[in-house]
Structure 1
């Protein structure tokens, strides 16, 4: 049976709530990282998955989209945990950044690794972008040294350095839009037609620390997730923001529930609701719907335009640290590993570290007909 046709019946998935069977046919990636998974990204050109982790390595897996069979294709290393790994637009290279402050690039064809940049502190996020009217390809990296740096891969010095108000916690790009989420809830928006300066700067509408940011495929806005189980839908244009922008609660559990999860941080009375960090947001490349995943060990699919949840899935045996759709959106990858939300003491030796591939179905992820 084809991997992409497995799963539950449409009758089961029409419900927005999980019944426990939705993930039963999900495929496990062989030979996963040995420590917390920090980032996962599909190649924009073929079924290759890049994975960065706390074990100082970036792994690249080859996936058969028909069967789900997968195997390791390549691996390269940093001198410290790796926090971000992303693809070049043509799918020939993977760029990465880590705790050693290094920005590296790996060439798929030759198998060679080159350091192309250096920061004064941890590199939290990297992206491969095209700048200006000529679409010049560059690597951009955001760091705890409060800078954003652009690299052209031929020189050890950055082309441009932008001073940011705070340390970089997350970053994403789409077309000519680059959005950086920093400490103290700082959000910096950059128009890559004019990459040397910040286009717009403001504080997140969410009250607590920014955990993740993801740009819309149309590049007219972005979604922010925070540690208090909230997501904000933002638009670049002020009129669009007034009309369509909003925030909503997600990844929360009511205290009245008697279920205990491996990720529960504290005991709550029946009147309280428990909030979990939103660790990852990913937009579907075709439908523009999106996923959120969190410290509660669940992920959900949402439609921002209809302001509704399309589908929630069963609780997994650990926190979800990273997610990604493939280029066509028919595979959703999610990484289960410890997200450090409960500190050092909760990181047990038997804590699961794994990546799963879920074959998406239209009735889970496609926008519903408007009522």
Structure 2
């Protein structure tokens, strides 16, 4: 798992835009009173989604014929860090700095606490577990545990110790990836969810910010604070053949003196989402930009110019025809970066195949 190939994004095969392709994006103004931490779409409807924020709230919207409708909201007692939908699209789960896991029933409009950790809940997912693919909620916390919850019981089905605080978590099919502090990456086969299948170190040198699983459930992408991504595979042979890392969310310094070595302004990779149909993915960073990448052919499909603030989170809808992205404080500068005038905006970008469908060199 240690073989890494490095590639640069300035290979002459990338496509940058001047921002005109974003002019028709739907803007959800004032979607939160503080930083937007997570966005999740319903797996059953194309344009219904939830967003969690640092103002202690989870909000649910529906977009019909280009008109944004607020459907519901519910509250935690502290900032909310994560939100996801159940497989049948009837429930929204969330967790945050009150250490609580909440479940909201979209039909009844009622929310309830279904679990608790000893520290903030950083990430959660609805996952198929065991030989019967029973849907449970798995939560990852800064208390160095993940817990599996049956929505009908107040106590966790099981608790698994992690090597450090959980920073990010994702799953596809029966693959669950948990990224923790100190660059640990924990790999779990959900057929046997209580056991760590493998624990490896991130190949990136600095703090892991986000992980995102491939659709096939055979690997995952890692983003870090150093403006780099690593594409990894579970199988060691496949990793040696196909795994690589690359630089992103970097720009040349504008103020370097003549004769000095070229320097880059490095931005944090805050968020990664894999396209649900194609083998492409999108990254968003503290530089305010987001980019579509072709994993299999190793090049950038399209990049967009910086927005008015950091891209704190991105996510696709269920068929990949819409990308939601949040322009919001990502806390990479700590408390000092949380200006009163910092924007909190969610935008919905209709994607095209040219932006998100991989293509070989002779097709570009």
TM-score for both structures, normalised by structure 1 = 0.91
The match for 2:284 is 293
- Distance change in 2, residues 1:270/1:73 (3 Å): farther
The match for 1:129 is 127
Is residue 2:300 matched to residue 1:309?
yes
Is residue 2:319 matched to residue 1:328?
yes
Deviation at 1:154, TM superposition (A): 1.7
The match for 2:99 is 101
Supply the distance in 2 between the matched residues of 1:30 and 1:93 (Cα, whole angstroms). Answer: 25
Deviations 1:158-201 (A, max 9, x none): 11100110000000011111000000001001000000110110
The match for 1:226 is 224
The match for 1:43 is 42
Any idea what SS the aligned residue of 1:363 has?
helix
Moved over 2 A (4+): none
Supply the distance in 2 between the matched residues of 1:219 and 1:257 (Cα, whole angstroms). Answer: 44
Deviation at 1:294, TM superposition (A): 0.2
Deviation at 1:286, TM superposition (A): 0.9
Q: Quick check: 1:257–1:270 contact (8 Å CA) kept in 2?
A: no
Is residue 2:264 matched to residue 1:273?
yes
The match for 1:52 is 52
The match for 1:206 is 204
* Corresponding pairs, count: 346
The match for 1:358 is 349
The match for 2:24 is 25
Supply the distance in 1 between the matched residues of 2:255 and 2:69 (Cα, whole angstroms). Answer: 40
The match for 2:155 is 157
Supply the distance in 2 between the matched residues of 1:234 and 1:69 (Cα, whole angstroms). Answer: 39
Any idea what SS the aligned residue of 2:186 has?
strand
The match for 2:173 is 175
Deviation at 1:256, TM superposition (A): 3.3
Query: Could you say what the CA RMSD is over the residues aligned between the two structures, in angstroms?
Result: 1.4
**Worse overlay, 168-177 or 21-30:** 21-30
**Worse overlay, 269-278 or 315-324:** 269-278
Supply the distance in 2 between the matched residues of 1:229 and 1:215 (Cα, whole angstroms). Answer: 19
Supply the distance in 2 between the matched residues of 1:347 and 1:146 (Cα, whole angstroms). Answer: 27
For structure 2, the residue ranges without an aligned partner over 5 or more in a row are 1-12
Deviation at 1:20, TM superposition (A): 2.7
Is residue 2:333 matched to residue 1:342?
yes
- Distance change in 2, residues 1:229/1:49 (3 Å): same
Is residue 2:86 matched to residue 1:88?
yes
Q: Quick check: 2:103–2:114 contact (8 Å CA) kept in 1?
A: yes
Q: Quick check: 1:251–1:276 contact (8 Å CA) kept in 2?
A: yes
The match for 1:368 is 359
